[in-house]
Amino acid sequence: MTTTVVIGGNFAGMTAALELKRKGKKEQKVIVIDKSPLFLFIPSLIWVPFGRRNIKDISFRKDKILQKKGVEFVHAEALRVDPQAQKLKTTKGEIGYDQLVIATGPKVDFDVAPGVLEHAHYIGTPDGAMKTRKALEEFKKNPGPIVIGATQNAGCMGAAYEFLFNIEKWLREENIRKKVDLHWITPETYLGHFGIDGMPGAETMLKSFMKMFNIHYHTEVGVAEVQKNAVVLSDGKVLKSSFTMLMPPFKGVDFVLNSPELQPTATGYLPVGEDYRHAVYQNIWAAGIAVDVKLPFEPGKIPFSGPKTGYPSDETGKIVAENIIRTLSGKSKLRKKAWGKIPGICVMDAGKKEVIILSDHLFKPRNFAIMIPNVLYDFNKVLFEKYFLWKTRKGYSFLP
């Protein structure tokens, strides 16, 4: 029996673990190590600050689901790995492995600019989303200017755009929109770049949204400093702000940076091939955000990154599971699909409206790419959430 250890248990890790056990059956002992027993549907965190979702609506106990499917769950934090000895050091002791899957997700770099941690809100974690909800309740008692956006080196522009349009909708619902100057700041070279070199019609569509919703926008800017009541931009402009929400950049987690033998990049990501196998260690794999992704475009005068979202994470989890099974079966041909060649499938919420984004490849060149606005209701966004939560609760990792 082969022992495969998966570090991390959200989109990439849970998919990889369930697929390994489903395909490997009794030949595979699969262990998931994670410091949280909860699965969190991260895309819906944008709704938590506005009370449209609570954390319990978008999370559930993954340890019970994994155990039901024959996967062992260890509630611990991975500290470092010794690839030579094939030993993993955790807060619950050492664990040996034959195959290792690193699906650790990101760490947020709040040190990207002074004051980001102290004065800007962040919606990418349950705690951050709930703190934002509380801050908005206070804000509506004394409205003022708002700054929403992404800092230099950020890659998750999509979630920031979604929050922007949701807060604009919320301001109207609270009857305080006329009291608020709403600003969008982004390192993107143009609106709708998204870290994927844009989509047909994206810039035009987003410019029309900004005009329709009376949102001031600033492209190709970074954040020099966040103050209690202002945001200082890299071009020297100072935007007054009574409420600020920023998406900082991601970086690799401490486990990766504390394991120098893995030869991580300076930002803590793992060098892997198109089969997601480590460049040096043939029994180590990476999936999801832990993967080092090379961008096929020049970011511009302000650096920014590409998106690492749920769909590519889920796909890379499946690819890694399939390739481990093939390797253990003695097959030399592995499944390959570069991150940028994974299809782009996304529904961007626009404040109870939505834009469906579809392409055959995440990065250019593409043969097919389209953006479809739905100005009536964010039906598809809600449907995708319900579907993904349902299939994950059931352990149906093989479904798309």
User: Across residues 35-57, what is the average pLDDT?
Assistant: 97
Q: Percentage of the chain surpassing pLDDT 70?
A: 100
| 100 contacts 93 by C-beta, under 8 angstroms | no
Structural tokens at position 279: 């460049």
pLDDT the model gives residue 89: 98
Q: Where are the domains of the chain?
A: 2-51+60-108+250-339, 110-249
User: Across residues 225-235, what is the average pLDDT?
Assistant: 98
Sheet of strand 87-90: strand arrangement: 78-82, 87-90, 93-96
pLDDT the model gives residue 99: 98
User: Across residues 336-361, what is the average pLDDT?
Assistant: 95
CATH topology of domain 110-249: FAD/NAD(P)-binding domain (3.50.50)
User: Across residues 104-133, what is the average pLDDT?
Assistant: 97
pLDDT band at 78 (very low <50, low <70, confident <90, very high): very high
More confident residue, 385 or 375: 385
What one-character-per-residue DSSP string does 109-164 give?
-GGGSTTHHHH-B--SSHHHHHHHHHHHHHHTTS---EEEEE-TT---HHHHHHHH
Structural tokens at position 84: 């030579």
- Structural domain 2-51+60-108+250-339, CATH architecture: 3-Layer(bba) Sandwich (3.50)
Does residue 261 register a pLDDT over 90?
Answer: yes
pLDDT the model gives residue 329: 93
Phi, psi for 32 (deg, rounded to 5):
-105, 130
Does residue 375 register a pLDDT over 90?
Answer: no
* Cα 91–chain centre separation: 25
Domain 2-51+60-108+250-339 and domain 110-249 have a common topology: yes
The residue type of 299 is P
pLDDT the model gives residue 77: 97
Does residue 376 register a pLDDT over 90?
Answer: no
Does residue 309 register a pLDDT over 90?
Answer: no
Query: What's the pLDDT tens digit per position in 180-222?
Result: 999 999 999 999 999 999 999 999 999 999 999 999 999 999 9
Q: Write down the mean pLDDT value for the chain.
A: 96
Q: From the CB of residue 96, how many other CB atoms can be counted at a distance below 10 Å?
A: 11
pLDDT band at 297 (very low <50, low <70, confident <90, very high): confident
Q: Give the alpha-carbon dihedral of 384, 321, 251, 148, to 10 degrees.
A: -10
| 13 contacts 106 by C-beta, under 8 angstroms | no
User: Across residues 84-103, what is the average pLDDT?
Assistant: 98
pLDDT band at 298 (very low <50, low <70, confident <90, very high): confident
pLDDT the model gives residue 109: 97
More confident residue, 204 or 297: 204
pLDDT the model gives residue 223: 98
Does residue 86 register a pLDDT over 90?
Answer: yes
pLDDT band at 23 (very low <50, low <70, confident <90, very high): very high
Query: What's the pLDDT tens digit per position in 149-178?
Result: 999 999 989 999 999 999 999 999 999 999
| 307 contacts 195 by C-beta, under 8 angstroms | yes
CA distances from 273 to 175, 308, 336 (A): 52, 17, 8
pLDDT band at 299 (very low <50, low <70, confident <90, very high): confident
Residue keyed to tokens 């490849």? 361
pLDDT the model gives residue 324: 98
**Distance from C-alpha of 374 to C-alpha of 152, rounded to nearest angstrom:** 30
Does residue 246 register a pLDDT over 90?
Answer: yes
